């Protein structure tokens, strides 16, 4: 029998506090009309001060394990995709390993910004297909509000907090991960950065004064790359899987901006608009977590029949991008 890596359970977690466009109007020089027309966002979630990426990730992970009917003690390996770890060391994966009670699991963080979820899924798939492990827990968790400059109107309206998780297993029923295409371009690294806080510009009074510990983005440039790269990744992924656009039931793009999503949708004319899943209006851009939050919501609100195919695509700092083709069993 051909070995497969399957998503046998998904989970997500969103903090309770809602930050609306009207709230942002009171914080920076912006309007609800500008934010909705330029991004499609109406509100986003913000974690409590004492709620971190580890807490949100653990909450999403426990839901994914319950959905997969798997005990935490059966998890062999934990991969956490985050650009907002609790701290540089230890990894957020180790903190979550303790929180969920999986002491025998290896645990590591990976860094690929908004594409982190797809990079982690790809690694999980490889670990399963190689026979190294049976059950890998992929967790995406972001507390972007800690790295967002709420005096910078060009970025602060975009980001929200939240987490998602996937159980990837060799056995059981679920969504088979048929194909994943990934890419990166370090030549464009400067387009989307948090410049301070690393060894290049360690945290100091000067980095804080210059607000280098916050996300800086060349929005226009990132927008163009995002559309181009996600379209190409989707097409490469479909080609590699010998799958036609018409065979796709759902497209779940990274929820960075509704205009980016609509621009990608135009490049897939056979896919009806209501088959492109969106959460951007209510959660904003939750970076690595976004595709997983949308997939979890889709699976909870719609029936996905055996044989149906779902295409995920993401794009982020690095630059990084990717697409993953899933097939329901
Ligand atoms: N409210 C009102 N006006 C604003 C706001 C705001 N919140 N933000 C910017 N503006 C102004 C600008 O100052 C500018 O004014 P000017 O013309 O007087 O200079 C004007 O609006 C237009 O600004 P643009 O930056 O050209 O606006 P644009 O239409 O490009 O939208 C946006 C900006 C929403 C950031 C868009 O470029 C975008 O979504 N980019 C991609 C983001 C993305 O994909 N990120 C993915 C990766 S995220 C990650 O990896 C963490």
The C-alpha R_g of the chain, in whole angstroms, comes to 19
Residue 27 and residue 89 in one domain: yes
Any catalytic annotation for residue 220?
A: no
In degrees, rounded to 5, the angle at the alpha carbon of residue 252 between the alpha carbons of residues 247 and 255 is 160
- DSSP, collapsed to helix, strand or coil, labels residue 150 as coil
The residue annotated as part of the active site, out of 21, 55, 94, 114, is 114
Per-residue confidence in pLDDT tens, the chain, 329 aa: 678 999 999 999 999 999 999 999 999 999 999 999 999 999 999 999 999 999 999 999 999 999 999 999 999 999 999 999 999 999 999 999 999 999 999 999 999 999 999 999 999 999 999 999 999 999 999 999 999 999 999 999 999 999 999 999 999 999 999 999 999 999 999 999 999 999 999 999 999 999 999 999 999 999 999 999 999 999 999 999 999 999 999 999 999 999 999 999 999 999 999 999 999 999 999 999 999 999 999 999 999 999 999 999 999 999 999 999 999 99
Residue nearest to atom 50 of ligand 1 (CA): 316
Residue minimizing CA distance to atom 5 of ligand 1: 154
Q: Would residue 13 count as lying in a domain? A: yes
Decide if 135 is catalytic. no
Is residue 19 located within the same domain as residue 146? yes
In the structure, which protein residues have their CB atom closer than 6 angstroms to any atom of ligand 1?
30, 34-35, 38-39, 113-114, 153-154, 157, 192, 219-220, 222-223, 226, 256-257, 260, 285, 287, 315-317
Q: Tell whether 219 is covered by a domain.
A: yes
Give per-residue pLDDT as tens, 82-105.
Answer: 999 999 999 999 999 999 999 999
Residue 168 lies in a domain: yes
Q: Which tokens in the block code for residue 257? A: 């901006």
CA atoms of 12 and 166, how far apart (whole Å) = 9
Q: Which of 140, 254, 257, 291 is catalytic?
A: 254
Distances (CA, A) of 61 to 101, 116, 131, 156, 254: 11, 16, 23, 27, 20
Number of domains in the chain: 2
| 3-class secondary-structure state, position 62 | helix
User: 113, 144, 173: which is the final residue of a domain?
Assistant: 173
Q: Does 196 reside within a domain?
A: no
In a shared domain, residues 138 and 53: yes
**Residue ranges making up the domain that contains 218:** 178-185+214-328
Cα distance between residue 1 and residue 4, in whole Å: 9
Contact 325, 178 (CB under 8 A): yes
Inter-residue contact 30 to 59 (CB < 8 Å): no
pLDDT of 1: 64
| pLDDT of the residue at 186 | 98
**Phi, psi values for residue 240, rounded to 5°:** -60, -30
- Probe ligand 1: pick from 31, 83, 219, max atoms within 8 Å of CB? 219
* Atom 28, ligand 1: residue with shortest CA distance: 220
């Amino acid at each position: 029998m051909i070995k497969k890596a399957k998503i046998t359970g998904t989970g997500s977690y969103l903090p309770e506090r809602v930050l609306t466009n009207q709230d942002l109007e009171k914080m920076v020089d912006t309007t609800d009309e500008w934010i909705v027309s330029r991004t499609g966002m109406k509100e986003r979630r913000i974690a409590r001060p004492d709620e971190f990426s580890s807490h949100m990730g653990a909450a999403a992970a426990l839901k994914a394990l319950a959905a997969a009917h798997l005990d935490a003690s059966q998890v062999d390996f934990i991969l956490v995709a985050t650009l907002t770890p609790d701290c540089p060391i230890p990894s957020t994966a180790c903190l979550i390993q303790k929180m969920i009670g999986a002491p025998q699991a290896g645990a590591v963080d990976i860094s690929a910004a908004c594409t982190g979820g797809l990079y982690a899924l790809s690694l999980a798939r490889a670990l399963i297909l190689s026979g190294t492990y049976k059950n890998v827990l992929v967790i995406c968790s972001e507390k972007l509000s800690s790295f967002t400059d709420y005096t910078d109107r060009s970025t602060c309206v975009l980001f929200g907090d939240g987490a998602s998780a996937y159980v990837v297993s060799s056995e059981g029923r679920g969504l088979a991960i048929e194909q994943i295409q990934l890419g990166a371009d370090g030549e464009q690294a400067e387009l989307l950065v948090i410049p301070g806080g690393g060894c290049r510009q360690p945290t100091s009074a000067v980095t804080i004064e210059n607000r280098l510990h916050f996300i800086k983005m060349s929005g226009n440039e990132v927008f163009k790359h995002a559309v181009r790269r996600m379209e190409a990744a989707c097409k490469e992924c479909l080609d590699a899987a010998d799958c036609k656009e018409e065979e796709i039931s759902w497209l779940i793009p990274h929820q960075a901006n509704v205009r980016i999503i609509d621009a990608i949708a135009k490049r897939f004319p056979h896919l009806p608009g209501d088959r492109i899943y969106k959460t951007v209006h209510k959660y904003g851009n939750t970076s690595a977590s976004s595709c997983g939050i949308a997939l979890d919501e889709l699976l909870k609100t719609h029936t996905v029949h055996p044989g149906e195919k779902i295409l995920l695509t993401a794009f982020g700092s690095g630059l990084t991008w990717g697409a993953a083709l899933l097939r329901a069993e």
